[in-house]
Amino acid sequence: MKFKTENIIKSGFGVLAFSSLLFLFGITVILFKEGLPIFKYVKLFELIGGKLWYPTYDPPDFGILPLILGTFWVTIGAMLIAVPLGIGSALYLHEIAGYRERAILKPVIELLAGIPSIVYGFFGMVILAPFLQRLLNIPIGLCLFTASFILGIMAVPTVSSLAEDALDYVPKSFREASFALGANRWQTLVKVVIPAAGSGISTAIILGVSRIVGETMTVLMVAGGAAVIPKSLFEPVRPMTATIAAEMGEAVVGSAHYHDLFGIGLILFLITLIFNMIAEMIGRRYRLKLGHGR
Amino acid sequence: MHNNIRMRAENVDFYYSEKKTLHQITLPIYKNKVTSIIGPSGCGKSTFIRLLNRMNDLIPNTRLEGRIFLDDQNIYEPDVDVVNIRRKVGMVFQKPNPFPKSIYDNLSYGLKINGANDKHFIEDRVITSLQEAALWDEVKDRLSENALKLSGGQQQRLCIARCLSVQPEVILFDEPCASLDPISTRCIEELIEKLKENYTIVIVTHNMQQAARVSDYTAFFYIGKLIEFDITEKIFTVPKDKRTEEYVTGKFG
């Protein structure tokens, strides 16, 4: 009797554990099933390389290059903000901050991650965009720069806390060995600690990128939404995620437009999948390198 | 100062925040001799040895009173360059701690941070240090391999070689064999025996037989106090203090 109960519990938890595998599988299948039919309408090159996005015109244009570039430039811009801020604050927290500073700063940085993305979007829309518009005297403040700035701030906690974990993971004994040889703090940081934490820090950056690429609500609100290839920082863009969010409700199920949006989703899925896999691989190598994996 | 004394602690008190962990330690370290520090866990022996090259500076909220001399210089004077002290007084730690770099880079690191940039000089020092640490024959064909691939005993000898690379004058060993097997331990002990020709050595050890085997002088610490200091033979055969006698005969530990 007892034996039976144990088995039921075991398999019960097994089902729960494997359910996420099922969801992943289901989502992947749907993405491919609904995304691939777009190639009945356009060729791969026309899809990815096409510069015009007029999915509801007659005849429609399904070029998603402006959307890909929108995502690309927003991501680059956001990383230019998130990487220095995130890694800088991780280094400060880890190397310089005293106990009390750390006790205040760390939770505050992590609190940034807890703010819903719609609030970030709201902030960008109501505060930053009008400010920028007045400051630079441009027609609209919702643009590549605004989106990059807001997304960059959003990714800071991800980069910062993962980079700090990586620094923390470097054994204290490495530092001691370095100091005992007559190295100063700067030499120890640059030549011993950062190289030892290097792959952990790159993982932090990659996961930050993957967070930015996938972010939807904020870019929908602040990027401006024009599906054209941007020529300057202050032109509106329409990243891939925002496009899907804005148009999926209107696309006729089974139409070319519908399949095209799924195609975009598929590409996004593959991008983040690749980033996560790279991060995982680097992380594993890193643990081996520090001798934890053996 | 006496000619044969290389380092000297004078009335040293040490505090972790408000907790006093060392009381009035006065102890000479003789030149080209091995001085061992023994005592039960928590007696302050590791804390003391780490004061000799100011490693405890890295621990926040600690404070030292008293003076520690290297030759005629009090190393705790405010205007002393810590880097310079640590270069003269090297340290080997309890757990082997090679950097996650190649064997060669582990050894060249100390030279480079101290300003060496002549390739031949560095190469020369790397080889000499490895030979001095009795590791050269085992690694000469694999200098570019990651140091973490070496066995525990080899890693510890690499750490000794790394310490020797910057040509220190005093070497501090903080329980260097605590994580090693008996064969590696013997190897390190023989090495210490040889090294004292050129270096002044201080070794903290848990292992009384080890102290008896390798050292010329022995200091017995108990609850933050120096109970007795003498020639090793005397400490182990005719100790003056009852607590020393009880410890070396294994009545407590």
Element at B170 (helix H, strand E) = strand B170-174
- Mean pLDDT, residues B199-209: 93
Quote the minimal CA–CA distance from A171 to chain B in Å: 9
> Distance between CA atoms of B52 and A271, rounded to whole angstroms?
55
> Is A287 in contact with A293 (CB distance < 8 Å)?
yes
Name the average pLDDT for chain A: 87
Amino acid at site A24? L
Is A291's pLDDT higher than 70? no
- Give B122: exposed, middle or buried? Use CB within 10 Å, 0-12, 13-18, 19+: middle
Confirm whether A294 is domain-assigned: no
A180 and A248: one domain? yes
Q: Does B115 touch chain A (CB under 8 A)?
A: no
> Are A173 and B95 an interchain contact pair (Cβ–Cβ within 8 Å)?
yes
> B114 contacts in A (CB within 8 Å)?
181-182
- Mean pLDDT, residues A91-96: 89
Q: Quote the percentage of chain A above a pLDDT of 70.
A: 96
Is B247's pLDDT higher than 70? yes
Query: Which among B83, B100, B114 has CB closest to A196?
Result: B100
A206, two tokens: 């990659």
Quote the minimal CA–CA distance from B248 to chain A in Å: 31
Q: Does B224 touch chain A (CB under 8 A)?
A: no
Confirm whether A259 is domain-assigned: yes
Quote the minimal CA–CA distance from A287 to chain B in Å: 11
B100, two tokens: 């996650």
Give the domain extent around A190: 44-289
Name the average pLDDT for chain B: 92
Q: Which phi-psi region, left, alpha or beta, contains residue A63 (left: φ > 0; alpha: ψ -120 to 50)?
A: beta
A111 and A139: one domain? yes
- Do strands B89-92 and B170-174 pair parallel, antiparallel, or not at all (unpaired)? parallel
Q: Can you name the residues that pair with B8 across neighbouring β-strands? A: B28, B69
- Mean pLDDT, residues B114-135: 92
Query: Which among A179, A187, A290 has CB closest to B86?
Result: A179
> A191 contacts in B (CB within 8 Å)?
109, 113
Query: What is the distance of C-alpha B147 from the center of its chain?
Result: 21
Q: How many CB atoms lie within 10 A of CB A111?
A: 10
- State yes or no: cis peptide before B100, omega within 30 of 0: no
A219 and A79: one domain? yes
Is B207's pLDDT higher than 50? yes
A17 and A154: one domain? no
> Distance between CA atoms of A47 and A35, rounded to whole angstroms?
12
- Mean pLDDT, residues A94-108: 87
Confirm whether A225 is domain-assigned: yes
> Distance between CA atoms of B211 and B233, rounded to whole angstroms?
10
Q: Which residue of B has its CA nearest to A97?
A: B60
- Mean pLDDT, residues B25-37: 94
DSSP state of B102: B
- Label residue A290 by pLDDT band (50, 70, 90): low
A245 and A283: one domain? yes
- Label residue A1 by pLDDT band (50, 70, 90): low
- Mean pLDDT, residues A266-280: 89
> Distance between CA atoms of A120 and A115, rounded to whole angstroms?
7
A26 and A63: one domain? no
Of A271, A293, A246, A294, nearest to A56 (Cα)? Answer: A246
- Label residue A287 by pLDDT band (50, 70, 90): low
Q: Which residue of A has its CA nearest to B87?
A: A182
> Is A181 in contact with A114 (CB distance < 8 Å)?
no
- Do strands B225-231 and B217-222 pair parallel, antiparallel, or not at all (unpaired)? antiparallel
pLDDT in tens, A156-215: 999 999 999 999 888 889 999 999 999 988 899 999 999 888 888 988 998 899 889 988
Is A293's pLDDT higher than 50? no
A51 and A26: one domain? no
- Mean pLDDT, residues B162-188: 91
The CATH number of residue A146's host domain is 1.10.3720.10
CATH class of B5-94+169-248: alpha beta
Confirm whether A53 is domain-assigned: yes
A150 and A182: one domain? yes
Residue of A175, A178, A179, A181 to mutate, interface with B, max B Cβ within 10 Å: A181
A230 and A276: one domain? yes
Is B1's pLDDT higher than 70? no
pLDDT score, position B253? 66
pLDDT in tens, A7-62: 899 899 989 989 989 998 999 999 999 999 888 888 888 888 888 888 877 788 88
pLDDT score, position A97? 85
> Are A176 and B58 an interchain contact pair (Cβ–Cβ within 8 Å)?
yes
Angle at alpha carbon of residue B143, lines to B139 and B147, rounded to 5°: 85
Cβ pairs A/B, distance under 8 A: 75
pLDDT score, position A169? 86
pLDDT in tens, A230-264: 888 888 888 989 999 988 888 888 888 899 899 99
Q: Which residue of B has its CA nearest to A193?
A: B99
- Mean pLDDT, residues B222-234: 94
> Distance between CA atoms of B102 and B158, rounded to whole angstroms?
11
Q: How many domains does chain A have?
A: 2
pLDDT in tens, B72-119: 899 999 899 999 999 999 999 999 999 989 999 999 999 999 888 899
> Are A182 and B84 an interchain contact pair (Cβ–Cβ within 8 Å)?
yes
pLDDT score, position A294? 35
Residue A148 neighbours by CB under 8 Å, 6+ apart: A73, A74, A76, A77, A78, A80, A81, A233
Residue A86 neighbours by CB under 8 Å, 6+ apart: A155, A156, A157, A158, A159, A160, A163, A204, A208
A36 and A179: one domain? no
Q: Which ranges constitute the DSSP H helices of chain B?
A: 45-51, 82-88, 103-113, 119-132, 136-139, 152-165, 182-195, 208-214, 232-237, 242-248
> Are B86 and A181 an interchain contact pair (Cβ–Cβ within 8 Å)?
yes
> Is A23 in contact with A247 (CB distance < 8 Å)?
no
